[in-house]
């Protein structure tokens, strides 16, 4: 597999991982919202169904009672039916009530959609029910089970799913008694189940619509937030990837660091880890100055900035005077303390001016960025004075430090040549008595 194929494969893996994370987050956020919305709609429907069912039951009961009061004379005496031969029946007691005389129950049917039947025992005397051909079911009988249910209960009986000539009904059968208190018939009040379900749907429809809209909005908001979170996690992953690949100067999104949540805290930890690793690799352990390897890299960038953009730079090489004496006389611990003291002065002094590098042993390189020579020279004089003012206390003794410097302007020349020239100036300074700054343009002048 060539490098191009390997890169393509790696990119495909990254894309798949990114899309997988985003997809999982979206599902994690939206699925519970959708399930909650669906459960809400189902619960709303069943609550609505039960509420409407109770209202229908009560309504059927009220219709049955009103019908009984209207036709109670029919049951106040023993009655029987005579078939008139034309599909109608009459009561043969002289108190006639024919099936065609159904104005009251017809008005109920027209006004409420509720079917009503007056039964003499199990025979339909008056009814609004019709068969498939549209003919009234007058004279037909109800099942023995219904009569048994009503007589056994001795009160109104309700049915949620009663099949009447091929159609399901919500039905109420209320018993009617004659003057002697004996069972004489029933009043039926019923409503098609489909009509009741339609009422249920219409009653809960606003809740369903609101729930659906809220579910959709919640899912969209959740998906959007999941995408944002995935994007943030992806930025953090890319940041760690750059660090893993050696880019210790990678920039981290400042907006993530402003987040007040755990994601923001994770980002801050990542930046701290980046700085720790960078300092561990780029900074000298003892002095905390840039190491020579990093210094060489920064010098190359500084030189290219001068070549490409004309950004001036000045280079200094400095050396601690008589450093070997500190080690030989007081030991390496004292020498380390001297190095740390000098490095502290250089670090503090170069903030906003450039950078300092521990070039080796007690030798340092200082680079002034975007600064002309004279200004850099004046600042270097201040640095030298600050070093002289530092006093190192070691085992009860107060030790003073001096340094010798050479300074040259940065040019397009090769770095090796520039470093060699500034090193020569440093050598001249040390041969001339140390504790001084030697400029490139006046090597005979001893500061």
Task: Provide DSSP, 366-383.
Answer: EEEES--HHHHHHHHHHH
Q: Is the pLDDT of residue 102 over 90?
A: no
**HSE of 358, CA atoms in CB hemisphere, 13 A:** 22
Using pLDDT thresholds of 50, 70 and 90, give the confidence band for residue 288: very high
What does the pLDDT read at residue 88?
A: 46
Token pair, residue 204, equals 């809960």
Using pLDDT thresholds of 50, 70 and 90, give the confidence band for residue 21: low
Q: With the C-alpha atoms ordered 324, 327, 333, 334, is the resulting torsion angle positive or negative? A: negative
Domain ranges of the chain: 75-196, 247-275, 283-439
Q: Is the pLDDT of residue 246 over 80?
A: no
Q: Residue 110, Cα to own-chain centre: how many angstroms?
A: 56
Average pLDDT, the chain: 83
What's the predicted TM-score (pTM) here?
0.50
152 CB contacts (<8 Å, ≥6 apart)? Answer: none
Mean pLDDT score, 157-178: 89
Q: What is the pLDDT of residues 184-194, one digit of tens each?
A: 889 999 999 88
What does the pLDDT read at residue 306?
A: 96
The correct answer on CATH 3.30.450 for the domain covering 75-196 is yes
Give CATH superfamily name and number for 283-439: Reverse transcriptase/Diguanylate cyclase domain (3.30.70.270)
Q: Does residue 315 contact residue 410 with C-beta atoms inside 8 Å?
A: yes
Between CA 149 and CA 132 the distance in angstroms is 27
Residue listed under structure tokens 């189902």: 42
| pLDDT top residue among 385 and 140 | 385
């Amino acid at each position: 597999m060539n490098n191009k194929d390997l890169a393509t494969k790696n990119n495909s893996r990254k894309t798949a991982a990114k899309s997988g994370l985003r997809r999982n987050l979206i599902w994690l956020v939206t699925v519970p919202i959708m399930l909650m919305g669906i459960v809400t709609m189902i619960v709303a429907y069943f609550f609505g169904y039960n509420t409407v069912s109770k209202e229908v039951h009560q309504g059927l009961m009220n219709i049955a009672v009103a019908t009984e009061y209207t036709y109670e004379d029919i049951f106040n005496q023993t009655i029987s039916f005579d078939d008139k031969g034309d599909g109608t029946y009459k009561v043969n007691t002289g108190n006639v009530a024919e099936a065609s005389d159904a104005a009251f129950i017809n008005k109920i049917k027209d006004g409420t959609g509720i079917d009503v039947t007056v039964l003499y025992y199990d025979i339909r005397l008056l009814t609004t029910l019709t068969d498939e051909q549209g003919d009234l079911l007058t004279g037909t009988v109800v099942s023995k089970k219904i009569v048994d249910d009503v007589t056994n209960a001795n009160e109104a009986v309700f049915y949620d799913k009663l099949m009447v000539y091929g159609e399901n009904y919500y039905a109420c059968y209320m018993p009617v008694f004659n003057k002697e208190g004996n069972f004489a018939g029933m009043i039926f009040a019923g409503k098609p189940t489909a009509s009741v379900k339609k009422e249920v749907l219409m009653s809960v429809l606003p809740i369903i619509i609101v729930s659906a809209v809220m579910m959709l909005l919640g899912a969209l908001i959740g998906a959007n937030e999941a995408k944002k979170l995935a994007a943030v996690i992806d930025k953090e992953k890319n940041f760690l990837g750059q660090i893993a690949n050696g880019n210790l100067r990678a920039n981290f999104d400042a907006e993530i660091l402003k987040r007040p949540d755990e994601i923001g805290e994770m980002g801050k930890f990542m930046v701290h880890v980046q700085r720790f690793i960078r300092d561990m690799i780029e900074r000298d352990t003892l002095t905390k100055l840039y190491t020579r390897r990093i210094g060489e890299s920064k010098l190359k960038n500084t030189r290219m900035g001068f070549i490409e953009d004309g950004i001036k730079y000045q280079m200094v090489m400095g050396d601690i005077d008589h450093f070997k004496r500190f080690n030989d006389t007081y030991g390496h611990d004292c020498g380390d303390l001297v190095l740390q003291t000098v490095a502290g002065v250089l670090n503090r002094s170069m903030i906003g001016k450039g950078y300092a590098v521990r070039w080796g042993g007690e030798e340092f390189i200082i680079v002034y960025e975007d600064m002309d020579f004279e200004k850099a020279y004046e600042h270097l004089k201040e640095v030298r004075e600050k070093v002289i003012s530092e006093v190192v206390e070691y085992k009860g003794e107060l030790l003073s430090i001096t340094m010798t410097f050479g300074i040259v302007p940065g040019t397009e020349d090769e770095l090796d040549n520039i470093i060699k020239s500034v090193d020569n100036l440093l050598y001249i300074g040390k041969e001339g008595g140390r504790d001084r700054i030697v400029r490139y343009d006046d090597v005979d002048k001893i500061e």
